[in-house]
Chain A
Amino acid sequence: MSNAVLDAGPLIHLSELRALDVLGDFQVLYIPPVVWSEVVHHQPEIAGYIDLPFEKIEAPLVDEKLATFAKMFSLDLGEVQSLAVAANYPDALFLTDDAAARLVAEEFGYKVHGTLGLLIRAVRKGHRSSTEILEILRNLQKNSSLHIRSSLLSDVIKKIEKEWKSS
């Protein structure tokens, strides 16, 4: 079982897509209070979602390197706090949908993924059927605030459809 440190994006997007259950197999989901507040602000119903192993954890002091990258990449407070928490859990996945936060996380050597990967992974992990995930992906732009270029999303859907048909 894996642990993960969460930025707000995946929680908000998965909540919008009614797919928070795809996080169900993580052992611990670390989340700074400031990120939690941001998520609850956007998706109040998540506060009552008790089936996930959230652990709210205060971020340690932001070191100079992270502070510099935060400035360079215009990261918001939640992203910075999540990255600061991730420093204490180097084996955990870092989950974000923000490109700048993801670039910085890569710079720090973290394994980073986002909502799209979590949804597709849910089939591999047996949380959801391929049919369910394809349906979610086809309606992704209508039902969530996650922005993926339409043609790119179509290519992704075609690719995974092909993979899942052949397996």
Chain B
Amino acid sequence: MAATLSRLDISVDGVSVTYNNARLALYNATCTVEPGTITALVGPNGSGKSTLFKSIMGFLQPSQGRVRIGGFSVQKAQKQQLMAYVPQADEVDWNFPVSVFDVVMMGRYGYMNVLRIPSAKDRRLVMESLERVGMVKYRDRQIGELSGGQKKRAFLARALAQEGKVILLDEPFTGVDVKTEKGMIDLLMELRDEGHTILISTHDLASISTFCDHTILLNRTILAQGKTEETFTKENLELTFGGLPMLSLNQMFESTEVDA
């Protein structure tokens, strides 16, 4: 199974993004997400994590630079269903009248004909994806009736159903209990072993070294990148989180060291 999946990298080359109000959100960001790895994108609030994510996903057009997914342009990669996206919780309208099953089925739309009538295969893949994240018994719930962890799992199931080889998760562990986080991490590691390339933006410094192979540190531009154990140095973190009180930074740093 793993052999059938060609591994894809994400290459970001000199990307700058300026918003309408002339604020420079991202400056000359160049980084590579190695194929078949779990890579963490780390930086303080307002450091441009979301902007970089949106540029990679093609939700916004960088004013400079370019993004390639396994050598393809973003648009081409999207057309071929190579990229799946798990949104932040606050980007979703949880009152929207759709069930968990409906949401996961949306992952299959790109494979269906114009009328989007699901085939037997589509249904099977949706059920398999639901099973994989342990959400089968909640499939008929309206999405607002789920707990924080279940919501994340529902959208992760959609990404699985889409069979994207590159999966981007924006702050997947906020509002998620420890048990669910552990379950999701195990699943992500499984996916990596099957050949998926996974990029995660996160605040949760403590857990990064336990499962992220690579880390990219970001604050308006790329400050450091590489293997997590090499990138996650005190100096680099201070550089990235410069504005933070040193005490809390030390604590975080020590706890990650213990984990490693």
A binds B: no
Chain A residues with CB under 8 Å of chain B are none
